[in-house]
Amino acid sequence: MSKNIVVFLVQSTKGGSKKRLCEAVRRMSKEKKCYIIASSSDFPLDIRNNENIELVNTPDQNAFTNTLAFTLLSTIKLLKIIYKYGSSIEWVGSFSANAGFSIALLSPFIDTKIFCVRRGANLRRLKIRLREDMNRNALSHIKGLLKIFIHKLISKAIFASSDLLISQTESGIRQLENEYDDWLPSRRAVLRNNVDATWIVRRRNCAVNDPIKLRCDVFNVCYVGRMQLLVKGVDSLLNAAEKLKKDDICFHLVGDGKDMKKIHDHILSKSLKNSVNLYGWMDNPLKIMVESDLLVVPSRVDPCPNVVLEAFAVGTPVIGSNTGGIKAMLHYDDLLFNPGSPKEISKMIRDIATDREVYDDISSKCVDLKDKHCFDWGGNLTKVFREYKYHTGIYKPIDI
């Protein structure tokens, strides 16, 4: 019997994992039947209407986005698919950190290849959050330690049961090797995210046609991401903004998160209201980004920020932290600063804002990086599945 079915699992349908999964099934559904097990049916219309794609969602309730509950329900759903199709299934895999736990539980009974897509750095983010919890109370600290323990346990089970590990950057693979080397599958591949992904193109077109107009008499700097002071480096960006508040530079912060109130209070206490605009969550932040002169990605930990690709797509230059996936994506030293360094960030922004030659240089470098990130992501994932077993070390269908 021919193997013509691929099963994908993703827990959250709100982030980048779902978007990458959609790119995969758009391509693979041309040749194979694809099943998606997710915590919600919230997928684009072209995915829902594709006859070769079947959505198998667990109950769409907040309670079921919990990892253990999703694992229980997705295990049942996956078991039904395995029982029905058996040896026709070619691959079963997960697109988010915890979604693969149900696959790990069933792996002794699955006669098919198993893959997992991981960005890396999840454990590092949890450890930074644990440092934040130490400043609150003992109970929060204990919960943080327990979360790290459970995360490591689940990750080890997923890696041990997998035949193939896929990450978006080589640094993501290296981070996972540092934490889990003895548990990782021997076959590993790097598949970068692409700038011409369907969801980025749709957002870009909408933003270009209906941008949010910004002031023309200042240099506009944009941040897009979760509002987290330490992990996302928003504290460093705010401190840089304080150093630049007398310059003709305006900051635009787009996103939401647990530190939103602290950030709002900081803006007021440091008298930054005239130079820092806090927008909160936006359905399409590219409407701000397309009008901005510069995007800053100040994260201390970020394995593969899609916001960099979004900036490339709308033609906005980017600078970011010299760490992890940001370093891999931006490549050039003069687009990078040390994470957690407001002094470096403020100097770079001032130089870019006041020196046209510097601005044109970083813009040119970003255009070059954009061109390198244009490729068929789903097609290259298909290539990874087809070619992975013939390669040792880290397989790269596209080496940027």
Overall average pLDDT of the 139-146 stretch? 73
Overall average pLDDT of the 272-279 stretch? 96
Residue 294's pLDDT band (boundaries 50, 70, 90)? very high
Is 299 a residue whose pLDDT tops 90?
Answer: yes
CB 223 within 8 A of CB 251: yes
Q: Which is nearest to 223 in space by CA: 311, 348, 335, 347? A: 311
Q: Residue 10's CB: how many other CB atoms inside 10 A?
A: 28
Q: Residue 219's CB: how many other CB atoms inside 10 A?
A: 20
In this predicted structure, what is the pLDDT of residue 363?
A: 98
Distance of CA 342 to the CA centre of its chain: 24
Residue 64's pLDDT band (boundaries 50, 70, 90)? very low
Judging by DSSP bridges, how do beta strands 187-190 and 164-167 pair with one another? parallel
Contacts of 275 (CB under 8 A, 6+ apart): 241, 244, 245, 249, 250, 251
**18-49 pLDDT, tens per residue?**
889 999 999 999 999 999 999 888 899 999 99
Domains and CATH numbers, the chain: 5-194+375-395 (3.40.50.2000), 211-372 (3.40.50.2000)
> pTM above 0.85?
yes
Overall average pLDDT of the 181-193 stretch? 91
How many degrees, rounded to 5, is the angle at CA 139 between CA 281 and CA 155? 65
- Start-to-end C-alpha separation, the chain: 38
Task: Pull the structure tokens for residue 252.
Answer: 């635009």
